[in-house]
Amino acid sequence: MKLALVTEFFYPSTGGTQTVVAGLAEALGRRGHEVTVFAPLPSSAPSPAQPGRLYETRWIRRHPWNVLGYAAVQAALFARLRTFDGIHVFHPAFGLGALLLHASAGPSRGRRASMPSDCRMVATLMGYDTVDYARMRLPKRWISRAVCQWADVVTAPSVDLANRGRAAGAKRPIEIVPHGVAVEVPGGAEVAALRRHLGITEDVLVCVSIQRHEPVKEPSALLQAWSRVARPDRRLILVGGGSLLDSLRRQMTDSGLSGVVIAGEVPHGAVLTYLALADVFVHHARYESFGMAIVEAMAAGLPVVAARVGAVPEILTHEKDGLLVPPGDASALAAAVERLLGDAALRDRLGAAARLRAADYDWESIAGRYERLYERGRRE
């Protein structure tokens, strides 16, 4: 099939949506489909290198990101999506152009000759922001609801997010299709080079946290927990950008907290090297619609400590492949981290079980599930 993946967020910036779209595009390409990713790019930005080998990226140049800029991008999508067998929109509010094309080609309106007669439209809820209608501006709310209403299939990566979508007023059935992961184990030389760069010797135990440092993640709670377990032979590495990085640095300075490395935003390939360096993965958030970083850590064989919020309990089973703690409870988070750092056998047991659990999120399996959704409409 000729498939279009439409996303508001893509490389060279990094984040969960970018990782999901690129992973799905590669997996669909391996399955023999002709895949094109459509994404906006500032008019002044140089064209990035092609992110993947098995799909094409078509950048849509945009001017200032306001109503007119959004309308121009959606008009370009309307014009460019006509020849595809399937259109997959990530974040419904970005799907206006795809929706108008899909509606204008509906059987009751006379399908355009240039558009396949059995084109199918899939919309995916990517996070809580996609169904948080109360905080959306009215036009965005209308577009998001309309896309969810008129797409052939609406999917969500977790039961929790699907339930939130229904509670927000989504009328269509929502299919649960989790995100996939593809973890390539870095070479020992890469890990050793990172260890030297960070000045971390072999006898130091390393905790890694990978996330966007935004208010919903409450990273200050993680620093509060670390202050209770910090020792000279332990390090905490914070990977990821976000608006709270400067605040975290001030918090460290004011409290005299040591043993914390703020790596900031790094390329996704480097993220895997940080995971390979780690002994424990720590994740804290007030809400999590899926938890890509958690699953990647599990696939890397790491024991995980995470807050019991959103979709996290759908991924982790307490005491089986990870440890779950109440959100916002720095004491409980510290106790769980201390327990893992102090017990190598427990780290090995939970890490091995986590790796087995992560196999359920292999991209080939997830791409096959989406493939059946794309094809189902072609048989109807």
pLDDT of 195 reads 94
Supply 310's token pair.
Answer: 């959103």
- Is residue 165 within 8 Å of residue 131, measured between CB atoms? yes
High-pLDDT (> 70) share of the chain, %: 93
Which has more confidence, 131 or 121? 121
CATH code where residue 33 lies: 3.40.50.2000
| Full residue range of the structural domain in which residue 217 is found | 188-361
Check residue 115 and report its DSSP letter. S
d(CA 294, CA 211) in angstroms, rounded, equals: 10
High-pLDDT (> 90) share of the chain, %: 59
Q: Is the pLDDT of residue 75 over 60?
A: yes
Q: Based on the fold, state whether residues 160 and 39 are members of the same structural domain.
A: yes
pLDDT of 199 reads 93
d(CA 71, CA 74) in angstroms, rounded, equals: 5
Q: Based on the fold, state whether residues 225 and 345 are members of the same structural domain.
A: yes
pLDDT grade, residue 134 (50/70/90)?
low
Q: Based on the fold, state whether residues 227 and 141 are members of the same structural domain.
A: no
Residue 364: in which H helix or E strand, if any? helix 363-379
Instruction: Please compute the mean of the pLDDT values over residues 108-133 and round it to a whole number.
Output: 66
Nearest to 298 by CA among 284, 314, 280: 280
pLDDT of 16 reads 80
User: Cα 132–129–245 angle (5° rounding)?
Assistant: 130
Supply 76's token pair.
Answer: 């370009």
Q: Based on the fold, state whether residues 104 and 127 are members of the same structural domain.
A: yes
Q: Based on the fold, state whether residues 242 and 160 are members of the same structural domain.
A: no
Residue 21: CA atoms inside 13 Å, Cβ hemisphere, count?
A: 33
Q: Based on the fold, state whether residues 150 and 109 are members of the same structural domain.
A: yes
pLDDT of 109 reads 39
Q: Based on the fold, state whether residues 367 and 357 are members of the same structural domain.
A: no
pLDDT grade, residue 67 (50/70/90)?
confident
Q: For residue 339, what are the CA distances in angstroms to 51, 63, 346?
A: 40, 51, 8
Q: Where are the alpha helices (DSSP H) in 105-152?
A: 138-150
pLDDT of 106 reads 57
d(CA 34, CA 50) in angstroms, rounded, equals: 15
AA letter at 364: E
Q: Based on the fold, state whether residues 195 and 340 are members of the same structural domain.
A: yes
pLDDT averaged over every residue in the chain:
88
Supply 327's token pair.
Answer: 């959100």
Check residue 187 and report its DSSP letter. P
Q: Based on the fold, state whether residues 172 and 271 are members of the same structural domain.
A: no
Q: Which of 116-130, 142-156, 360-374 has the lowest mean pLDDT?
A: 116-130
Q: Is the pLDDT of residue 270 over 90?
A: no
- Is residue 146 within 8 Å of residue 233, measured between CB atoms? no
Domains in the chain: how many in total? Answer: 2
pLDDT tens for 148-184 read: 888 999 999 999 999 988 887 777 789 999 999 877 7
Nearest to 55 by CA among 13, 25, 12: 25
Q: Based on the fold, state whether residues 348 and 370 are members of the same structural domain.
A: no
Q: Return the residue matching tokens 């619609």.
A: 289
Q: Based on the fold, state whether residues 26 and 143 are members of the same structural domain.
A: yes
Instruction: Please compute the mean of the pLDDT values over residues 98-111 and round it to a whole number.
Output: 67
The verdict on pTM exceeding 0.75 is yes
Instruction: Please compute the mean of the pLDDT values over residues 260-266 and round it to a whole number.
Output: 90
Q: Which residues contact 165 (CB under 8 A, 6 or more apart)?
A: 125, 130, 131, 148, 154, 156, 174
Provide the CA 187 distance to its chain's centre, in angstroms: 24
d(CA 102, CA 283) in angstroms, rounded, equals: 39
- Is residue 124 within 8 Å of residue 172, measured between CB atoms? no
pLDDT of 176 reads 95
Q: Is the pLDDT of residue 129 over 50?
A: yes
Handedness of CA 354, 225, 185, 309 (dihedral sign): positive
pLDDT tens for 330-352 read: 999 999 999 999 999 999 999 99
Instruction: Please compute the mean of the pLDDT values over residues 226-251 and round it to a whole number.
Output: 92
Is the bond leading into 12 cis (omega within 30 degrees of zero)? Answer: yes
Q: Based on the fold, state whether residues 126 and 263 are members of the same structural domain.
A: no
pLDDT of 145 reads 87
pLDDT grade, residue 110 (50/70/90)?
very low
